[in-house]
Amino acid sequence: MPVNYDELENTLASLTAGECDGVALMATIACELHHCDDRFDWTGFYRVTAPDVLKIGPYQGGHGCLVIPFDRGVCGAAARNRTVQLVGDVSAFPGHIACAASTRSELVLPVMNGDGALIGVLDIDSNQPDAFTQTDADRLSLILARCFKDVAAPDFRGHA
Ligand code: SME
């Protein structure tokens, strides 16, 4: 059953109304998103925790790798370029990081707050080849922008 983005938007709007804690938002979105479409076999966030470093955040599915530098993987490409990565065949993506051997396609979206600060990325993996569409990318980008607009930018003070 494919996701109904109008319903998903309404559900997330009511669940996250007034929330500006990034991890709480990520946990809620990962849970709702993962269970609304059988294409989504891994659904989760990586957070910006230091300059050019992503660390795993809330997710649904098998274990994901804990740390991804911006110069690695599909997630790193989304973070460093701040662009959506719509990958129809992960085996054709140079430097793809395979957290699961079953992954065939992937959609990774940058997550920014209302000031344009990079908060992290949303990563969705599918065991189906070429599973994601531009509509998925466009609708999810809008949902992320609305949910994360009031989240504070990452604070790296205290990081060497
Ligand atoms: N495939 C991602 C790594 C995260 S695991 O898929 C959860 C990448 O290449 O960045």
In the block, which residue shows the tokens 């396609």?
105
Whether 54 lines ligand 1, by a CB cut-off of 6 Å, is no
Round to whole Å and give the CA distance between 134 and 156: 33
pLDDT attached to residue 102? 97
pLDDT of residue 157: 83
Q: Whose CA is nearest to atom 2 of ligand 1?
A: 97
Token pair belonging to 120: 């992290």
User: Quick one: pLDDT at residue 1?
Assistant: 81
Q: Is the CB of 125 under 6 A from ligand 1?
A: yes
Residues 33-72, buried b or exposed e (16+ Cβ, 10 A)? bbebbebbbbbbbbbbeeeebbebbbbbbeebeeebebeb
Q: Which tokens in the block code for residue 4?
A: 């109904």
Tell me the three-class secondary structure of 94-113, residue by residue: CCCCCCCCCCCEEEEEEEEC
Query: How much is the pLDDT for 27?
Result: 98
Structure confidence at residue 158 (pLDDT): 66
Mean pLDDT, 10 residues at a time, the chain of 160 residues: 95 97 98 97 98 98 97 98 98 96 98 98 98 98 98 83
Cβ(106) to ligand 1 under 6 A?
Answer: yes
44 CA to centre of ligand 1 in angstroms: 10
pLDDT at 160: 52
CA of 76, closest atom in ligand 1: 10
Give the per-residue pLDDT at 156. Answer: 86
